[in-house]
Amino acid sequence: MMQILVTGGAGFIGSNFVHYVMKHSDFQVTVVDKLTYAGNLASLANLPTERFRFVQGDITDAQLVDRLVRTVDAVVHYAAESHNDNSLADPGPFLATNIMGTYTLLEAVRKHGKRFHHISTDEVYGDLALDDPYRFTEHTPYNPSSPYSSTKAGSDLLVRAWVRSFGVAATISNCSNNYGPYQHVEKFIPRQITNIIDGIRPKLYGSGENVRDWIHADDHSSAVLTILEKGVSGETYLIGADGEHNNKSVIEAILSGMGKSADDYDQVTDRPGHDLRYAIDSTKLRTELGWTPSHADFTAGLAATIHWYQANEDWWRPQKTATETKYAAAGEQTLYPTAAAPQ
């Protein structure tokens, strides 16, 4: 029975992965998580104690990391500072966790000869034109735009160097935008759903023509489990589910799905350096490892996600006011109230 260490397992995608692994494998799971503003123990409630344990700690703590890595067969590394807007306001924590944290883990897996899987993002490739016929592949050159994506790119390169120079058995996956339960209310989809619940108009950055390639968190989890079990050491796999939608259409779909007028949102200050379009070609993962997504219907997935936030207000309510206060303090301003704005 495999024992795995999941870093960042109290965050959005890490907690979804832990639930997925509990259901679809017999692995024993240890989560190490610092419980930053983004970590939430409530996302890991009711897991079987005989297969799951939680350790609060920082992945830059070399002694702790060494002690934990020694006891497992493999490390799945999700922990990161993950929000682009925060990285524009204060890049420091992104360098500490994303770069130094990954370095600390790599040194421990090198010392103890353990398998490592590194979770990364399609943002390392920069962005695409709206009409570009090509999507990102494993061969696309790195070209990150933000402090967040540049630290993720740096961490990917560290993993590659530890494979080549020290023979560490590691794989990397770069995934597109995830949605689903347990996502922090600072992120695009949960922010709009919880705004509407609170009677606040959704906030669209700039024109909203920006495209994201949406994948359900469960499909990300099934891909990572597949790579962990069948992936070839030293290889990178792109994870995506052909879910391209522009932000404007997603806001309209959320409003309609919650019984509101589709134009009842505000256009607000655009994100500096805002990437225009991400799109993943996941042919390698599908053909070489036989993975397929099972949540292909974005409309159905979005409806289930809206329902989850409506049913789990206790989970997100404690973060909501602080998150909106942070956006206001960062200078977010309404540019063009749409037709339905109150006069």
- Clarify whether 122 is annotated catalytic: yes
Out of 33, 58, 81, 122, pick the active-site residue.
122
Q: Could you say which of ligand TDX, ligand NAD, none residue 142 binds, taking C-beta under 5 to 8 angstroms by partner kind?
A: none
Query: Residue 78 or residue 291: which is nearer to ligand NAD going by CB?
Result: 78
- Clarify whether 148 is annotated catalytic: yes
**What is the 3 state secondary structure string of the chain?**
CCEEEEECCCCHHHHHHHHHHHHHCCCEEEEEECCCCCCCHHHHCCCCCCCEEEEECCCCCHHHHHHHHHCCCEEEECCCCCCHHHHHHCCHHHHHHHHHHHHHHHHHHHHHCCEEEEEEEHHHHCCCCCCCCCCECCCCCCCCCCHHHHHHHHHHHHHHHHHHHHCCCEEEEEECCEECCCCCCCCHHHHHHHHHHCCCCCEEECCCCCEEECEEHHHHHHHHHHHHHHCCCCCEEEECCCCEEEHHHHHHHHHHHCCCCCCCCEEECCCCCCCCECCECCHHHHHHHCCCCCCCCHHHHHHHHHHHHHHCHHHHHHHHHHHHHHHHHCCCCEEEECCCCCC
Q: Among the candidate windows 11-19, 137-145, 226-234, 328-336, which touches ligand NAD by CB under 6 A? A: 11-19
Query: Residue 79 or residue 253: which is nearer to ligand NAD going by CB?
Result: 79
Query: Residue 263 or residue 317: which is nearer to ligand NAD going by CB?
Result: 317
Binding mask 20-39 for ligand NAD (x = CB under 6 A): -------------xxxx-xx
Regarding 275 and contact with ligand NAD (CB under 6 A), the answer is no
Regarding 306 and contact with ligand TDX (CB under 6 A), the answer is no
Can you give the binding site for ligand NAD, defined by CB under 6 A? 7-8, 10-14, 33-36, 38-39, 58-60, 78-82, 97, 101, 119, 121, 152, 175, 177-178, 184
Active-site residue set: 122-123, 148
